[in-house]
Structure 1
Amino acid sequence: MNKYSRIFLGTAFTSQSEKEVKILQDYLFCIDDHGMIEKAVAPADPQYQTILNEYKDKECFHQLQDREYLLPGFIDLHIHAPQWAQAGTALDLPLNDWLHTYTFPLEAKFSDMAYAEKVYDDLIRTLLANGTTTGLYFATVHKESSFRLAEICAEKGQRGLVGKVVADDPEQNPDYYRDKDARTALAETEAFILEVKELAKTTKQGVYPVVTPRFIPSCSDEALKGLGKLAEKYNTHIQSHCSESDWEHGYVKERFEKNDAFALNDFGLLREKSVMAHCIFLEDDDVALFAETGTAIGHCPLSNAYFANSVIPISRFHAKGVDVGLGTDISAGATPSIYDNAKQAVVSSRMLEDGVDTSLSPEKRGVSDSRITINEAFYFATAGGGESLSLPIGRLDEGYAWDAQIIDTTKLPIFDNSEPLSDIFQKILYLVKAENIKQVWVQGERVK
């Protein structure tokens, strides 16, 4: 009887730290029955040849081909699942106009289960094809179709963290698309949590319910307070938007006479398993509160360029002890690719450091020490995302889930067989598209 359910032989890239990528050349990765990496064995290890001899002729042995490499699966910390249907639309509008003109009418359609299933099925398939093995999802205010999203994640093998959106404030939400009232929103959220927890019992890679106030402007005080209590009662993840734009940041300050972070914390919504999207306008006290509570930032660089009115100083926030991961923010971010957002994270950080106003002298134009490297962006896309979710994912290392992408580089511009592996890694991060991703694995199961 085999001790391991699968063995992979190949060269992998994984984060050693936020700035350093570890190259695991010709390693054996030994996967147990639960889809976890039990051993990562280097060629110099005395066990290496013994394991290789025992497994190399077995069906469970997978050897990568020439010019194929392993990356951890990507973790997307901010996806509006229904908005996949409007990806690439109306990105020139201000945020509040975009929500009321396009987004809310679209999300209202997800009371139609057939429509919801068609969109969600295509979205999960597309994300897996792009190497996203874990997704943190906003669904809609509709409990039934939100649960169907969790089921589709389970069926297709993606690790899904799904929230039924709460938006009950009649002054801020249209009559055709909102929760009936706070009491109904809380009752449906609790029922949703219990249904997803039941589904999780039969899902190898895991599905998780997420308490999801859309953002403070959408919710009454009663709903926000009740959601905090539900998150504590069931120890769920929490997600929302925080200090995203001038409009939202200003609205919360006017309503509560405090910043978003402190308002959310007062309602019990900043916790170890909380992920707040955007967070552009966090001030030093807000950042300290995030670090103290264990709240993570879902950094969405492409979406921020369209709607956030500024560039987030992500390097400074992370240096102060805040966990950070990447998000696509479909559809405010038009692409389903974390590769695209990793590249944009680097670009945005350089624009912040260099500045954009040419009428100012170089020393006054930007914000010093803001730039990040592609190694750091890779960390945010993988290990940082796992830490943000408090899950053992995002690294190709012992004790982590076997969530992996097999990348075929034969069509990338690599013409020298002696090209350093560190350079090949950079080319993968900057140049890979879905067609270069040969296979995707989640929790030891192949999903692409």
Structure 2
Amino acid sequence: MKKYTKVFQGTAFSSKSPKEVQILKESLFCINDNGMIEKVVAPEDADYQILLDAYQGLENFHCLAEGQYFLPGFVDLHVHAPQWAQAGTALDIPLYDWLNTYTFPLESKFSDLDFAKDVYQDVVRTLLANGTTTALYFATVHKEASLLLAEICAEKGQRGLVGKVVMDNPEQNPEYYRDVDTQTALADTEEFILAVKELANSTKQGVYPVVTPRFIPSCTDDALKGLGELAAKYDTYVQSHCSESDWEHGYVQDRFDKNDAFALHDFGLLRDKSIMAHCNFLNHDDADLFAETGTAVCHCPISNAYFANSVIPIAHLHSKGVDIGLGSDISGGFSPSLFDNARQAVMSSRMLEDGVNTVLPAKERGVPNSRITINEAFYFATSGGGESLNLPIGRLTENYAWDVQIIDTTIDAAKLPIFYANEDLHDVFQKIMYLVRPENIREVWVQGEKVHSRV
């Protein structure tokens, strides 16, 4: 019989398609040395009882208790790691003022590696405790602190994709917080890429360097061009903000006489490994360009409610073949939980479809066919995030990483309202998605290794 490193038994929920959740009832998940799901065995399969007899009672056999379920680990496609230190503050002012009054002064402090270590250790620990097994991080302009974040991800077992932020435009960035000049920004970025690639050689779950122009206003043309060339040279991921707010969208149109999508594409920054945050103001041509280049959209529903001046037509973009994932956007979004963001994604989509201005007749008030379901929000938080990154994550199926959160619905302080032993599992899934709190996340595993446990 084939030997497995670990075998898990329990009921799991995973996306079968964007709109359909697959229920894997009392299945066995066989994990290999690399932390990948090598085999999924259903109770009706011929070898189910053979495997159960062979592994039950062994140290590497893990059986869920009554009321516990497996979910895939969440994939957060947009986190400003340094901003964890200001999460939950100053969300009532415009984006431009928020950045210059609060965010840039905070991020400038990350030249202090002791301060950076305190914040970065805590944000990685917090995201893991909230079920986020993969995170796409903006760091700061500081090369050393950005590398420290990648090292902390590696150490704590989170799959981290980390970008040293580029901000070299003296007209848009404060003197106290920006790259020294364009050449230094590009040289630091290249050195950062090489250092993270070296770190990845000894990191089981993977860490990845990400080319990261903060957004077009922050960067000179030469920096944008140079970053596109570095992304091509090293085949790296690319992340930025795109068409987020009225101000940012309008700035790019004034500077380039085109929308963000086409401006970024001209600099080689839209590619199959590109993930652009927000994208609220994408038009039809922009969306077609995203689909054509393989560029993904990171939907940040909580943050968008504060800073985007709009509700993104996420259902429309997905229908055009654009990959979609979900992001917390700490700290433009106050919550580190993708459960919270999945819930807000559903609510925002309903508001877009139904409209909010009661002065208008109902038929004129909203945008038809805009709503998404909780099944779709779950897909964006898991499988959609994995597809956006082109990584085998976000699904509980063979040849995917064993990235899971074990949900306990029976915790005294956060018990879910499940009162029937035979309650429909689709209903259980919905209750999990709408009601789970961090207390319910009993364990988190990444690439077959336990990275978080709640006693």
- Report the TM-score when normalising by structure 1: 0.99
1:401-440 aligned at under 5 Å gives the runs: 401-410=401-410, 411-440=415-444
Taking the aligned partners of 1:403 and 1:328, their CA distance within structure 2 comes to 19
Amino acid across the alignment from 2:29: F
* Structure 1 residue matching 2:17: 3-state secondary structure: coil
1:283-298 aligned at under 5 Å gives the runs: 283-298=283-298
State the Cα deviation string for residues 176-205 of structure 1 (Å, max 9, x = none).
000011100000000000000000000000
Amino acid across the alignment from 1:185: A
Amino acid across the alignment from 2:437: K
1:86 alignment counterpart: 86
1:315 alignment counterpart: 315
Amino acid across the alignment from 1:306: Y
Amino acid across the alignment from 2:407: I
State the Cα deviation string for residues 159-218 of structure 1 (Å, max 9, x = none).
000000000000000000000111000000000000000000000000000000000000
52-61 or 242-251, which deviates more:
52-61
Amino acid across the alignment from 1:81: A
* Structure 2 residue matching 1:190: 3-state secondary structure: helix
2:190 alignment counterpart: 190
Residue 47 of structure 1 and its aligned partner are, at CA, apart by 1.2
1:377 matched to 2:377? yes
Amino acid across the alignment from 2:89: T
1:447 alignment counterpart: 451
Taking the aligned partners of 2:125 and 2:319, their CA distance within structure 1 comes to 35
Taking the aligned partners of 2:47 and 2:232, their CA distance within structure 1 comes to 45
1:241 alignment counterpart: 241
1:302 matched to 2:302? yes
Q: Percent identity?
A: 73
1:256 alignment counterpart: 256
Taking the aligned partners of 1:406 and 1:174, their CA distance within structure 2 comes to 44
2:33 alignment counterpart: 33
Q: What is the aligned length?
A: 448
Taking the aligned partners of 2:2 and 2:22, their CA distance within structure 1 comes to 29
* Structure 2 residue matching 1:16: 3-state secondary structure: strand
1:104 alignment counterpart: 104
Gaps of 5+ in 2: none
* Structure 2 residue matching 1:439: 3-state secondary structure: strand
2:267 alignment counterpart: 267
Taking the aligned partners of 2:60 and 2:419, their CA distance within structure 1 comes to 32
2:121 alignment counterpart: 121
State the Cα deviation string for residues 110-165 of structure 1 (Å, max 9, x = none).
00000000000010000000000000000000000000000000000000000000
Taking the aligned partners of 1:299 and 1:272, their CA distance within structure 2 comes to 17
Amino acid across the alignment from 1:99: L
Residue 415 of structure 1 and its aligned partner are, at CA, apart by 1.0
Taking the aligned partners of 1:229 and 1:443, their CA distance within structure 2 comes to 32
Taking the aligned partners of 1:362 and 1:409, their CA distance within structure 2 comes to 39
Amino acid across the alignment from 1:238: V
Residue 57 of structure 1 and its aligned partner are, at CA, apart by 2.2
Taking the aligned partners of 2:147 and 2:257, their CA distance within structure 1 comes to 36
* Structure 1 residue matching 2:430: 3-state secondary structure: helix
Residue 2 of structure 1 and its aligned partner are, at CA, apart by 7.0
* Structure 1 residue matching 2:196: 3-state secondary structure: helix
1:364 alignment counterpart: 364
* Structure 1 residue matching 2:406: 3-state secondary structure: strand
Taking the aligned partners of 1:40 and 1:265, their CA distance within structure 2 comes to 41
* Structure 2 residue matching 1:288: 3-state secondary structure: helix
2:139 alignment counterpart: 139
* Structure 2 residue matching 1:92: 3-state secondary structure: coil
1:74 alignment counterpart: 74
Amino acid across the alignment from 2:364: K
What stretches of structure 1 move > 4 A for 4+ residues in a row?
Answer: none
Gaps of 5+ in 1: none
Taking the aligned partners of 2:312 and 2:197, their CA distance within structure 1 comes to 35
Residue 418 of structure 1 and its aligned partner are, at CA, apart by 1.7
1:226 matched to 2:226? yes
2:50 alignment counterpart: 50
Q: CA RMSD in A?
A: 0.7
Amino acid across the alignment from 1:162: V
